[in-house]
Amino acid sequence: MLRSFVSRPTLGRISLSPRTVGGALSIHCKWVTTEAVNNEVQLVRHTGADQGILTLSLHRPKAKNALSRSLVSDFRKALEEIRNDREARVVILRSTVPGVFCAGADLKERATMSPAEVEQFLYSMKMSFKELESLPQPTIAALDGAALGGGFELSLCCDLRIAGPRAILGLPETSLAIIPGAGGTLRLTRLIGSSQTKALVFTGRRFGPYPALSMGIVNDVVEPVECMDEKNTEEHGLGYERALEWAREILPNGPIAVRMAKRSIDHASSVDPATGLDVEQLCYAQVIPTEDRLEGLRAFKEKRKPVYKGR
């Protein structure tokens, strides 16, 4: 169930009809109000059985969610809020613009910037990517359209990626005589290895959900639906719907355990095995004194589902 919002006076508050935020949401969800960092970045806290799931949406239709200075700045504000939200258990990053997840860096704005401004902007963009990657909660990117260049790199900062039928991925930077410099060469190499990464970066080729699945870039793919409306807008949001299913599977698990597992796994690929095992031990030590661990043991004994409180 998706509804509501805790509003903060310092942030703007806007009302959105389902249609303005994308087709598929209107099928399953009722939007009432959203807390918005501004109109281009929207943060929804789910309620009821879905409490603990947060949806962070990009909504800059006129530029296909291209990463402008203002969008990145608002995105960072939203991430800071999520980071400090103790109730947040799973975060979904999605687009509410049909046909696109994110078109990468804003190439038009970039052309108007001085070299100093470009440098400042690139720093801010890279920081926002790091901030997303280092969120304590598990994150899922719902790819319901084009995720290109910096847009694809953005999705690589999430823990999981789910592709809708219309997902198109690619790193076209070399065709613009630049490189995927927002962490893309590193993060993609870690994910799929250097040979596959080189193939994608050297060619700048665009590819769909199934090649992405077979390369291990996405975790799940939604089949195309047989009946589509003319513009395929009903298919926009199917990746998000699937991402919600994944979030609901994560939600009942011990929140501190999930966060600690994320931290340990994130270290695994960047440290030597001995250090990795030490980090795992430290993360394990964090769950030992929790009430949730005792609740898990009790629930097992009593043959019931545990109710974890994140304590």
Binding site for ligand CO8 (CB under 6 A): 63-64, 66, 99-100, 103-108, 122, 125-126, 146, 148-150, 172-173, 176, 180-182
Q: 90-95 and 139-143 as β-strands: parallel, antiparallel, unpaired?
A: parallel
Judged by beta carbon, residue 72 or residue 258, the one nearer ligand CO8 is: 72
> Catalytic: 254?
no
From the CB of 116, what's the least distance to ligand CO8, in Å?
Answer: 15
DSSP-H helix ranges across the chain: 18-21, 23-28, 69-83, 107-111, 115-133, 150-155, 184-192, 194-203, 209-215, 238-250, 255-268, 273-287, 291-301
Q: 53-58 and 41-45 as β-strands: parallel, antiparallel, unpaired?
A: antiparallel
From the CB of 10, what's the least distance to ligand CO8, in Å?
Answer: 29
- Sheet with 53-58, edge to edge strand ranges: 12-15, 33-38, 41-45, 53-58, 90-95, 139-143, 160-163, 220-221
Considering 36, 78, 105, 182, which one is annotated as catalytic?
105
> Catalytic: 150?
yes
Q: Which helix (H) or strand (E) holds 139?
A: strand 139-143
Buried b (16+ CB within 10 A) or exposed e, 32-69: eebbbbbebbbbbbbeeebebbbbbbbbbbebbbbbbb
From the CB of 215, what's the least distance to ligand CO8, in Å?
Answer: 20
CB of 187 closer than 8 Å to CB of 157:
yes
Judged by beta carbon, residue 66 or residue 256, the one nearer ligand CO8 is: 66
Considering 40, 173, 235, 241, which one is annotated as catalytic?
173
From the CB of 208, what's the least distance to ligand CO8, in Å?
Answer: 13
Judged by beta carbon, residue 123 or residue 210, the one nearer ligand CO8 is: 123
> Catalytic: 105?
yes
What's the Cα-to-Cα distance from 62 to each of 5, 39, 102, 106, 199, rounded to whole Å? 26, 12, 12, 11, 31
From the CB of 171, what's the least distance to ligand CO8, in Å?
Answer: 8
Considering 35, 40, 109, 153, which one is annotated as catalytic?
153
Q: Which residue has the tokens 């990746």?
A: 239
Residues with a catalytic annotation lie at 105, 150, 153, 173
